[in-house]
Amino acid sequence: MAKSYRIAILPGDGIGPEVTREAIETLRLIAEIRGFSLELTPYPFGAEHYMKTKETFPASALEEMRGQDAILLGAIGDPRLPVGLLERAIISGIRFGLDLYVNLRPIKLFAADLCPLKGKGPEHIDMMVVRENTEDVYAGIGGFLKKGTPDEVAVQEMIFTRKGVERVIRYAFDLARRRAKGRKLTLVDKANAVGAMDLWTRTFEEVGREYPDITREHAYIDAATMWCVKNPEWFDTVVTSNMFGDILTDLAAMIQGGLGVAASGNLHPGRVSLFEPIHGSAPKHAGKNVASPIGSILAAQMLLSYLGEPEGAELIEESVAELFATGKLRSAGTDSGVGTREQGEWVRQAVRRRASSPTKAC
């Protein structure tokens, strides 16, 4: 019997729906080529839904998602609503609710033209950032005292647990081992200023002893941002805490061609996991057919790879790489001159051609 995958679709706000549509069409094409089927369940959560119903993200939806194979998310956020309301309820709600403790962010440059750094090409930029995804300042431990008065105090705790730190570090070592490249793992922290990060340093050393084949490196977050621009080739696999990973991966996305091309997976290995482009909802570009769907299409590619469909994932990645490498697509920004729909169609044309070419027939 043909395999079937149940995927929750959460297009969300702004450019989310239009980029997600291209990712879904690409997924459908791969399903047809590879002979599996898809059961897609759309969810309406986001700003419009909230404004109509006052519902952000109900517990029942999270429970339904638990029973799916994967979740594909577009983007969440709307300037008409209080800052972070939907992001915390939906994005953090799913990350924490499903305990998706790895935020995996591949940074790979497909063509030198996409990179704003002088003299850097695809051979210099190919890294995997493993961001911890359930702790740190995102854990929501904090609050206000005397709110709104001149004596106001605001506190937000940087929480790290031994279990939380260890499992993400272990994931990163395993990933470094699976990667063909450098067999090197770099810990990025700020242990010189944030004493609690000594837990990361110690855990990294202890777990690292079980991986003698992986070289251990270290960089403080401030230096890591500098190296990322100066010598990105220095990085192979990187592991870091939640907030530093958030910041580092926006910077890293720029050196691979911008937020339009960057994708991520929020994973709990072996369980339902969430895939999304790194970009946000970009409301000013919404509905204009100018947003790049590549980040979302590459999120779908990561989803397939996670579900155990590496051939389909590879078809997508090679097709995207080809569009940039041949110069057919020159930018992943809103200035590419190629519409959202057209870019999606170009990817699918390349996928069809690759799938039917004799060298790829097996």
Which residues here bind Mg ion, judged by CB under 5 A? 246
Residues 272 and 198: their CA atoms lie apart, in Å, by 31
Active-site residue flag, 335: no
Q: Is 138 a catalytic residue?
A: yes
Residue 115's binding partner out of Mg ion, ligand IPM, none, with CB under 5 to 8 Å set by partner kind: none
Which residues make Cβ contacts (< 8 Å) with residue 74, sequence separation at least 6?
Answer: 10, 11, 12, 13, 15, 16, 17, 19, 20, 276, 277, 281, 296
- Given 190, 211, 220, 236, the catalytic residue: 190
Chain centre distance of CA 38: 22
91 binds, among ligand IPM, Mg ion, none (CB under 5 to 8 A by kind): ligand IPM
**Which phi and psi angles does 351 have, rounded to 5°?**
-60, -45
Residue nearest to Mg ion (CB): 246
Q: Minimal distance in Å, beta carbon 295 to Mg ion?
A: 12
Cβ 249 to Mg ion shortest distance, Å: 7
Q: Rounded to the nearest whole angstrom, what is the least distance from the CB of residue 295 to ligand IPM in the complex?
A: 12
Whole-number Å distance between alpha carbons of 67 and 268: 14
| Residue 51 in tokens | 């404004």
Nearest CB to ligand IPM, comparing residues 87 and 309: 87
- Select which of 138, 171, 220, 306 is catalytic: 138
Cβ nearer to ligand IPM, comparing 182 with 295 = 295
Using the minimum distance from each CB to ligand IPM, give the nearer residue, 132 or 246.
Answer: 246
| CA distances in angstroms from 354 to 303, 305, 359, listed in the order given | 20, 18, 9
Q: How far apart are CA 299 and CA 289, in angstroms?
A: 19
Residues 6+ apart with CB under 8 A from 202: none
136 is catalytic: no
Q: In the complex, what is the shortest distance from the CB of residue 289 to ligand IPM, in angstroms, rounded to a whole number?
A: 24
Q: Is 213 a catalytic residue?
A: no
Q: How far apart are the first and last CA of the chain?
A: 20
Q: DSSP per residue over 175-229, as a string?
A: HHHH-SS--EEEEEE-TTT-GGGHHHHHHHHHHHTT-TTSEEEEEEHHHHHHHHH
Tokens in use for 124?
Answer: 């210099």
Of 232 and 277, which has the nearer Cβ to Mg ion? 277
Active-site residue, selected from the candidate residues 181, 222, 230, 360: 222
Cβ nearer to Mg ion, comparing 78 with 246: 246
Residue for token digits 């242990």?
191
Closest approach, Cβ 134 to ligand IPM, in A, equals 11
Binding site for ligand IPM (CB under 6 A): 87, 91, 246
Residue 87 contacts which entry, ligand IPM, Mg ion, none (Cβ below 5-8 A, type-dependent): ligand IPM
Q: Which listed option, ligand IPM, Mg ion, none, makes contact with residue 322 (CB within 5 to 8 Å by class)?
A: none
Pairing of strands 102-108, 153-156: unpaired
Catalytic residue among 13, 78, 136, 246: 246
Closest-approach residue to ligand IPM (CB): 87
To the query of whether residue 246 is one of the catalytic residues in this protein, the response is yes
Nearest residue (CB) to ligand IPM, 42 versus 140: 140
Q: How far is the CB of 263 from Mg ion (least distance, A)?
A: 13
Pairing relationship of beta strands 102-108 and 273-277 according to DSSP bridges:
unpaired
| Catalytic residue numbers, as ranges | 138, 190, 222, 246, 250
